[in-house]
């Protein structure tokens, strides 16, 4: 049995979506609060930096979403969700699976500014502006990829839906709380397509949420 340690609306949602996409793979989810309990010594044996996701599988423990994505695809879905060595799309698959973390680090910085820092005096309008601009630059890269006039450009790879869409899609899910997709029509169309999938819908939070709002405008609001 696979156990995923998960906080809703964080990077571990990426792993939850991937697990929901896998066929005939049993797993269970252990929910955690997004708070100091992730620094408890017991949890640190699962994830030494005190972060999610952490994955327990076959008596072993994994952390880091990119590593987890690569391992689960290699083991359970090498051709459908993964692209193995020798595949013509292998290089692009690796690039976009890991580009998700570039997007996520900027979304995480904005999450800290808007949510984790409770006192307005601790927040920085300059940091918020810079991080939002960096997310927009990431959207530019996705727009260039998804608007390229080639056959089968419905997903990140021309060979079809893969874990690259899951990884980047979940990162965009987080980033959209701070930067909208209005200026990136190809990304918006792709995002709507992939988030219509049942596995994504199963990965959405119920009551426990990190983001209380759908969108956080720049602070202070002008």
Check pLDDT > 70 for residue 222.
no
Q: Indicate the number of domains in the chain.
A: 2
Residues 139 and 105 in one domain: yes
Lowest mean pLDDT among 81-85, 86-90, 141-145, 214-218: 214-218
Q: Where does the pLDDT of residue 23 fall: very low under 50, low under 70, confident under 90, or very high at 90 and above?
A: confident
Residues 199 and 111 in one domain: yes
The proportion of the chain whose per-residue pLDDT surpasses 90, expressed as a percent, equals 90
Whether the model clears a pTM of 0.85, i.e. scores above it, the answer is yes
Average pLDDT over residues 145-166: 90
Is 84 part of a structural domain of the chain?
A: no
Residues 48 and 138 in one domain: no
Contacts of 93 (CB under 8 A, 6+ apart): 82, 83, 87, 157, 162, 163, 164
**The domain spanning residue 109 has which CATH number?**
1.20.1050.10
Q: Are 111 and 213 in contact (CB under 8 A)?
A: no
Q: What are phi and psi of 80, to 5 degrees?
A: -85, -55
Residue 5 DSSP SS3: strand
Residues 98 and 198 in one domain: yes
Q: Where are the beta strands (DSSP E) in the chain?
A: 2-6, 27-31, 54-57, 60-63
Is 210 part of a structural domain of the chain?
A: no
Check pLDDT > 80 for residue 52.
yes
Note the pLDDT of residue 19. Answer: 98
DSSP bridge partners of 29: 4
User: With the C-alpha atoms ordered 71, 77, 79, 81, is the resulting torsion angle positive or negative?
Assistant: negative
């Amino acid at each position: 049995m696979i156990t995923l340690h998960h906080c809703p609306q964080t990077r571990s949602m990426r792993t939850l979506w991937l697990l929901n996409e896998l066929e005939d793979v049993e797993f269970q989810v252990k929910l955690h609060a997004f708070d100091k309990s992730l620094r408890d010594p017991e949890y640190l044996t699962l994830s030494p930096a005190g972060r999610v996701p952490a994955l327990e599988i076959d008596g072993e423990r994994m952390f880091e979403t990119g590593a987890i994505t690569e391992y689960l695809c290699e083991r359970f879905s090498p051709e459908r969700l993964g692209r193995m060595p020798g595949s013509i799309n292998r290089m692009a698959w690796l690039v976009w699976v890991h580009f998700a973390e570039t997007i996520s680090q900027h979304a995480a910085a904005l999450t800290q500014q808007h949510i984790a820092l409770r006192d307005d005096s601790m927040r920085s309008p300059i940091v918020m502006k810079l991080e939002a601009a960096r997310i927009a630059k990431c959207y530019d890269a996705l727009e260039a990829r998804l608007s390229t006039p080639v056959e089968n450009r419905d997903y990140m790879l021309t060979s079809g839906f893969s874990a690259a869409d899951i990884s980047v899609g979940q990162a965009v899910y987080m980033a959209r709380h701070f930067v909208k997709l209005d200026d990136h029509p190809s990304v918006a169309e792709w995002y709507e397509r992939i988030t219509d999938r049942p596995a994504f819908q199963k990965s959405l939070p119920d009551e426990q949420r990190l983001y209380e709002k759908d969108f956080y405008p720049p602070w202070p609001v002008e």
